[in-house]
A and B are shown apart, each in its own frame.
Chain A
Amino acid sequence: MTESSATTVPPVLTLHNVRKTYRGREALKGISLELRPGELLGFFGPNGAGKTTMIRCISGLLKPDSGTITRHPFDHGDDDDPDNDEPIRLGLVPQNLAVYPDLTVQQNLEVFGRLEGVSGKALKHRINEVLEWAALKDRTRSLTKTLSGGMQRRLNIACSVLHDPDILLLDEPTVGVDPQSRERIYEMMQQLTADGAAVLLTTHQLEEVETRCDRIVVMDHGTIVADGTLSELVSRTIGQPHRVILKFDRPCSKPLAAFAFDEPRTTATCSLASMKELPQVLSVLKQLDQEPSRIDVRSYGLQDVFLELTGRSLRE
């Protein structure tokens, strides 16, 4: 999803100041966000941050104490008649394997398709599509419990897309799967977003959020502490995305352009907006009266943003 389309396409889902007290604890403290078609939104946060509660609220399993969750009517047709707008179709992929282990792959897809109101030839056609999409075509008659963990995860997702949902909510969909299956799962999600679906996922996998998601929302203690693309988050929380750090054995007496020294002047740091600036910055090393004992060039990522925003104390 491009930056421009993200702002021009109307949202399919809007949360406004959503609050929810769950099991005696205020799990959501005024959550507001928007989700747009074709967007892959990653929810990242420590355990107990409120991610699952938020997904349950969005899916309608929990009713917020206050605030609003709006699923905007979605125009699936070509005409402009607002009366043709259909209600938003929602798909949920729970954190656990929410399929019947004693049913075959085909049978699971059939029952969940029917529960979503798909039947007859449409269901048969859709099952074939989904089997291809999830790379499970050759295991249709296998009992689900005999599948590998990765296959079960893919089936778990496949069962939620049979009705071609406009919004797909995934609660940690890649837990416990091998890299190949994880790769395949993200390819599946990218195909969904390419087809116009809005995908919201929660995960603990930093790398997944950094590299796969169009937008990242960081949650902590029931609130959204950051929302944006990775570069936006880094620039907002840390500043420049790259940093050069020089270490000296003894205090450096000469000043160094663009670098800031700490006391007792054994460490110098310089932030970079782009890696292109690196040669120019490193050229100043010629001015030094001693060689640095160590040079670190570091790019900031989500973990730095996250730790910066949430601190280092353990949760739960």
Chain B
Amino acid sequence: MILTILRILFLRLRNNPLELVLVFVMPVVFFSIFAGIFSKGIATGSDKKLRVGWIAAHENALSLELRAFLEKNSTLQCSSLIAKPSLADLDDEAEEKSIAEIEIEATIAEAQRSGRYDLIIRLPDDFPTRLADSEDSAPCAVQLVTDGQNPMAVAMVTSVVRGFFAQKKAASAAEQLVSLSLAAQSSSGYGSPREPNASQYFDPVKDPSQVFGNDQDSRFIVTNSDGVNSVNGVSDVPKEWAIAPPKSVFTTEELLETELADKPESENDEAVSISVENPQAATQENPRIAMYAAGIAVLFLLFSSTGNAAALLEEAESGTLDRILVSQAGLFHIVSGKWLGILLLGCLQITVMFVWAELFFKIQLAKHIVGFCIMTFSTAAATASFAMLLATLCKSRAQLNAVSVVIILSMSAVGGSMIPRFAMSDRMKEIGRWTFNAWALDGYQKIFWFQSPLTSLQNEVAVLLGSSLVLGVLTLLFSGRWKRG
């Protein structure tokens, strides 16, 4: 008996291709999508790199060196931003900031809105040409401009920039140390025929005080790599270089470590001062929550829209559609009425989600209400047409359920409703452009995250409303099958 029950189960499964797709194909499809997102990106064959924008008021030797260092880093994809005068709104801020500053800020804002950068490195006008000459000198200022989407980007770039300055500082310290050593050697006979190659170990330094500061009471003995000690009491060295009788004996490496270790950690990083700026932070509140709300809302909007459109199939199966078609309502009225109903329900559904988010997470809905309305209408219109077309093409509710689950989950995974789009590879983002989710989320992002002007929504609105129109016309064309039975 158990075998018979088992046989029934397998026979039903075998005779139902849609269920087979859901059971066996769907998991594989989803695995592939997520694998594509979280591994190397679909068909790109390359790891996802952080896209770093670079903008400097003036390039100089040090900035170019830093730029080259960043470009060498395999985790970063560095590209320059060119300040465009046309982007700057000079009237408002010209009195407080220089024109160049305003242009740079406008360029950064534009770059952030484009979504092409995870982070932008901005070097100020007074970025030095070389590392700080003394401890009194101000550290090199580096500004990281983030849109807050990818917190990992800030941490990673900060680490890389600090690494650069740490290397520079260490190299500089080493140079100074060696120079000091050479000077001591020269006074004690090193560099003479007895030690002709001593200078080969190090490059000369210009000013050993860079390493040891102004502590004129320092007294030490330097040991070179061969273990030969210099001696104090050298007569021809400057007074501040005077070497006291040894308290102990150090190697140069130990000396460097000791010098650095004696200083507080913060002082070790003094070569660079990294500040992180989020231009939107001052005026935005919980934009991440707004993005989550949009992602979830669009996902469920797709499901609810197809669910509502499925009523058309139910009506066809029960004969209710025939009854309505025979009445004074024609096919156009039926399709239009259904579409309008799904559109209104969709708008209401998204609104409820955002109102909830506003009440409990303060996403500043009122401040962005116009943009929200535009995007919500466009998104709901596109999904309504999409749902109606699916319902028109499917033969039964069961078929629609299976097809819609596959399509909607795939669209949502690729389009950013499940995984943030900034975490995706460029290839994946491009693929996402074929989904409503991506366009809708990009639009909501511009509103709630970048607080862009309404005109910046033109692409998203055009794509969504255009899709709605095209799919709507296709729905009307294919809906003739209801009359043909």
Contacts and interface: CB of A to CB of B under 8 A. Distances in A.
Nearest to A93: B323
A186 interface: no
Given A96-B319, A97-B318, A99-B320, A60 B326 contact: yes
A160 B323 contact: yes
6 contacts: A60-B326, A61-B322, A61-B483, A90-B326, A115-B329, A116-B328
B247 interface: no
Contact of A116 (B318, B327, B484): B327
A190 B162 CA distance: 95
A95 B318 CA distance: 8
Given A56-B485, A116-B327, A95 B320 contact: no
Given A96-B317, A98-B318, A115-B327, 11 more contacts: A60-B325, A62-B484, A92-B322, A92-B323, A92-B326, A93-B323, A94-B319, A94-B320, A96-B318, A99-B320, A117-B327
A117 B328 contact: yes
B326 A59 contact: yes
A100 B320 contact: yes
Interface in A61-102: 61-62, 90-100
Given A22-B485, A61-B485, A62-B485, A115 B328 contact: yes
B324 interface: yes
Given A22-B485, A56-B485, A61 B326 contact: yes
A300 interface: no
Contacts of B318: 94, 96-98
Interface in B237-273: none
A193 to B, nearest CB: 20
Interface string A148-167: 00000000000110000000
Contacts of A159: 323
A94 B485 contact: no
A112 interface: yes
Interface in B434-485: 483-485
Interface in A134-190: 159-160
A98 B326 contact: no
A56 B483 CA distance: 9
A22 B320 CA distance: 21
A71 to B, nearest CB: 12
4 closest Cβ contacts across the A-B interface? A94-B319, A98-B319, A115-B327, A98-B320
Contacts of B325: 60-61
A112 B328 CA distance: 10
Interface in B306-363: 317-320, 322-329
Contacts of B327: 112, 115-117
Contact of B322 (A22, A98, A115, A116): A98
Interface residues on B, range: 10 to 19
Interface string A180-223: 00000000000000000000000000000000000000000000
A97 B329 CA distance: 19
A115 B484 contact: no
A96 B484 CA distance: 18
Nearest to A53: B485
B213 to A, nearest CB: 84
A109 B323 CA distance: 13
A160 B317 CA distance: 18
Given A95-B319, A96-B319, A97-B318, A115 B324 contact: yes
A26 to B, nearest CB: 15
Contacts of A61: 322, 325-326, 483, 485
Given A115-B329, A116-B328, A98 B485 contact: no
Of the candidates A90, A94, A112, A159, the one having the most CB atoms from chain B within 10 angstroms of its own CB is A94
Contacts of B323: 92-94, 98, 112, 159-160
A91 B325 CA distance: 11
A159 B328 CA distance: 14
B313 to A, nearest CB: 13
Interface in A34-50: none
A107 to B, nearest CB: 14
Contacts of A115: 324, 327-329
Nearest to A52: B485
A256 to B, nearest CB: 56
A96 B317 CA distance: 8
A197 to B, nearest CB: 15
B484 to A, nearest CB: 7
Of the candidates A22, A98, A112, the one having the most CB atoms from chain B within 10 angstroms of its own CB is A98
A58 B484 CA distance: 13
Contacts of A91: 326
Of the candidates B317, B320, B323, B325, the one having the most CB atoms from chain A within 10 angstroms of its own CB is B323
Contacts of A112: 323, 327
B262 to A, nearest CB: 80
Nearest to A92: B326
Contacts of B317: 96
Of the candidates A61, A93, A96, A116, the one having the most CB atoms from chain B within 10 angstroms of its own CB is A61
A22 B324 CA distance: 22
Interface string B129-165: 0000000000000000000000000000000000000
Interface string A115-137: 11100000000000000000000
B349 to A, nearest CB: 19
B166 to A, nearest CB: 70
A115 B327 CA distance: 6
Interface in B196-223: none
Nearest to B320: A98
A59 B484 CA distance: 12
B322 to A, nearest CB: 5
Interface string B94-106: 0000000000000
Nearest to A94: B319
Contacts of B319: 94-98
Contacts of A96: 317-319
A59 B321 CA distance: 13
A91 B326 CA distance: 7
Contacts of A98: 318-320, 322-323
Nearest to B334: A115
